[in-house]
Amino acid sequence: MLYTFGKIVEEEEGAGAVWLTYIVCALGASIASFFFDQGAVSLGASGAVFGLFAVAVLLKLKFSFQKLVEGLVLGQFVVKQVLQEVKSAQAGGLAIAGAKVGHVAHLGGALMGVLLILALSRLPEVSPKKKLP
């Protein structure tokens, strides 16, 4: 999933955007996990990957037919995953190989991804300098 959604972000915005998104969403996931999951410390990458899910979908929601269809397909997947995470978090989560799955961290990472896109969309466009003939 990291490769799939990271590749989408990279194709749209570049490699630096993948790193920025991953780090910001990982921090958001850890913070959400700590404050809303009874002081749990999130150590996995899944919260950051959930953030990449959200960013990939929002980047695809530009107004062209192809991008709209891609955004809807990806969006359907992300919405399904987010709803599954909400249900799992409400049910108390589950443990895999003795480690508790950080469902709240997943949701925190996705939320941080959405907030990152909202913040970056408010920045003015920077156009590359044109070379004079």
**Every domain of the chain and the residues it spans:** 2-121
C-alpha Rg value of the chain to the nearest Å: 16
Active-site residue 106, yes or no? Answer: yes
The pLDDT-based confidence of 19 (bands split at 50, 70, 90) is very high
Give 131's Cβ-side CA count (13 Å radius).
Answer: 1
* pLDDT at residue 112 tops 80: yes
**Which candidate, 115, 54, 42, places its Cα nearest to that of 79?**
54
Q: Can you tell me which residue has the tokens 């990458």?
A: 45
Q: How far apart are the first and last CA of the chain?
A: 45
* pLDDT at residue 83 tops 60: yes
Determine the Cα–Cα distance for residues 78 and 57; give it in Å rounded to an integer: 8
Q: Which of 30, 33, 103, 106 is catalytic?
A: 106
Query: What mean pLDDT is predicted for residues 41-66?
Result: 79
Query: What mean pLDDT is predicted for residues 34-54?
Result: 82
Q: Which of 46, 64, 103, 127 is catalytic?
A: 46
> How confident is the model at residue 65, as a pLDDT?
65
Active-site residue 103, yes or no? Answer: no
